[in-house]
């Protein structure tokens, strides 16, 4: 069975209105089928397309000196889409920020917190899951272990600093975490939605509680925009680095 959050199909990319474009700062791999198609595109744009690819064992798009994909134009739009249409995107660009998680016989499809548009959907939508084929509401285990961390936030800040860094902006929030005397005891709607997201994606009760506690501790006395930024950074730093994620899951 394929399971989705009820908000899954409501997602729309913000494109040029996105404050943190996913075409900046990420190495974007190109799947074999799309790469083969790109090598056969004719004309001037075909030549530009091939010049904009790093042709190695794992092909990827080139980044400019500002870490922007070379096909991200000055308006914040993708020249591949503008020229060839959305069907011309590689698998990663088509799927992001969607993820797939297999649990037993079930396939879970969701949206990642590292995207600001997806983040708002996750934080503003009631926790409900659907059978993607029938639309019927189904029960999904989202319970987490009681949060009882014996390490203070300052020690966790040191721990997170030891991981691979993907975005320098995360450092300021680790400074803030290091200055906190304790984790928040917030257990309201935001706690429910964040822990449900992490449980649905990772099926790890202790990590779900820990991640939500870190985010909500950092988000105390902030508005929704900053909460989304904290979620985005945490997700990018932990969920989108396999190495970092493995270390965190084995530590909490």
Q: What is the 3-state secondary structure (H, E, C) of the chain?
A: CEEEECCHHHCCCCHHHCCCCCCECCCCECCHHHHHHHCCCCHHHHHHHHHCEECCCCCEECECCCCEECCECCCCCEHHHHHHCHHHCCHHHHHCCEEEEEECCEEEEEECCCCHHHHHHHHHCCCCEEECCCCCEECCCCCCCCCCCCCCHHHHHHHHHCCCCCCCCHHHHHHHHHCCCCCCCCCCHHHHHHHHHHHHHHCCHHHHHHHHHHHHHHCCCCCHHHHHHHHHHHHHHHHCCHHHHHHHHHHC
Is 124 a member of any domain?
Answer: no
Is 108 a member of any domain?
Answer: no
pLDDT class of 18 with cuts at 50, 70, 90 = confident
pLDDT class of 48 with cuts at 50, 70, 90 = very high
The residue assigned the tokens 């285990």 is 141
Count of structural domains within the chain: 2
pLDDT class of 25 with cuts at 50, 70, 90 = confident
Per-residue model confidence (pLDDT) at position 223: 93
162 and 230 belong to one structural domain: yes
The mean pLDDT of 60-84, rounded to a whole number, is 92
The mean pLDDT of 8-16, rounded to a whole number, is 85
157 and 245 belong to one structural domain: yes
* 199, pLDDT greater than 90: yes
Is 33 a member of any domain?
Answer: yes
pLDDT class of 235 with cuts at 50, 70, 90 = very high
Rounded to the nearest integer, the mean pLDDT of the chain is 93
* 58, pLDDT greater than 90: yes
Is 242 a member of any domain?
Answer: yes
pTM over 0.95: no
Per-residue model confidence (pLDDT) at position 121: 95
Distance from the Cα of residue 239 to its chain's centroid: 7
* 21, pLDDT greater than 80: no
Percent of the chain with pLDDT over 90: 79
Min mean pLDDT across 18-27, 29-38, 54-63, 97-106 is at 18-27
Is 142 a member of any domain?
Answer: no
Domain boundary among 95, 110, 126: 95
Is 74 a member of any domain?
Answer: yes
Domain boundary among 95, 128, 143: 95
164 and 239 belong to one structural domain: yes
**Could you tell me the residue range of the domain that residue 226 belongs to?**
153-251
pLDDT class of 236 with cuts at 50, 70, 90 = very high
Per-residue model confidence (pLDDT) at position 217: 97
Is 173 a member of any domain?
Answer: yes
Percent of the chain with pLDDT over 70: 100
Is 82 a member of any domain?
Answer: yes
């Amino acid at each position: 069975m394929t399971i989705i959050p009820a908000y899954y199909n409501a997602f729309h990319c913000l494109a040029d209105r996105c404050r943190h474009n996913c075409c900046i700062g990420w190495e974007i791999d190109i799947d074999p089928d799309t790469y083969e198609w790109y090598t056969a595109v004719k004309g001037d744009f075909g030549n530009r397309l091939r010049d904009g690819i790093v042709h190695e064992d794992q092909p990827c798009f080139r980044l400019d000196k500002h870490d922007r994909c070379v096909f991200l134009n000055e308006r914040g739009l993708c020249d591949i889409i503008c020229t060839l249409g959305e069907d011309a995107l590689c698998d990663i660009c088509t799927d992001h920020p969607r993820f797939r998680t297999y649990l037993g016989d079930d396939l879970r499809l969701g949206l990642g917190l590292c995207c600001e548009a997806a983040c708002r959907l996750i934080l503003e939508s009631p926790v409900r899951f659907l059978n993607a084929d029938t639309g019927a509401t189904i029960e999904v285990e989202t319970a987490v272990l009681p949060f009882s961390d014996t390490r203070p936030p300052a020690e966790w800040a040191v721990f997170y600093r030891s991981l691979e860094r993907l975005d320098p902006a995360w450092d300021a929030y680790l400074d803030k975490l290091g200055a906190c005397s304790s984790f928040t005891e917030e257990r309201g709607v935001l706690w429910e939605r964040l822990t449900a997201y992490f449980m649905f994606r990772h099926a790890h009760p202790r990590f779900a509680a820990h991640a939500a506690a870190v985010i909500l501790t950092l988000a105390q006395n902030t508005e929704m925009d900053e909460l989304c930024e904290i979620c985005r950074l945490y997700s990018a730093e932990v969920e989108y680095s396999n190495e970092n994620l493995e270390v965190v899951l084995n530590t909490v």
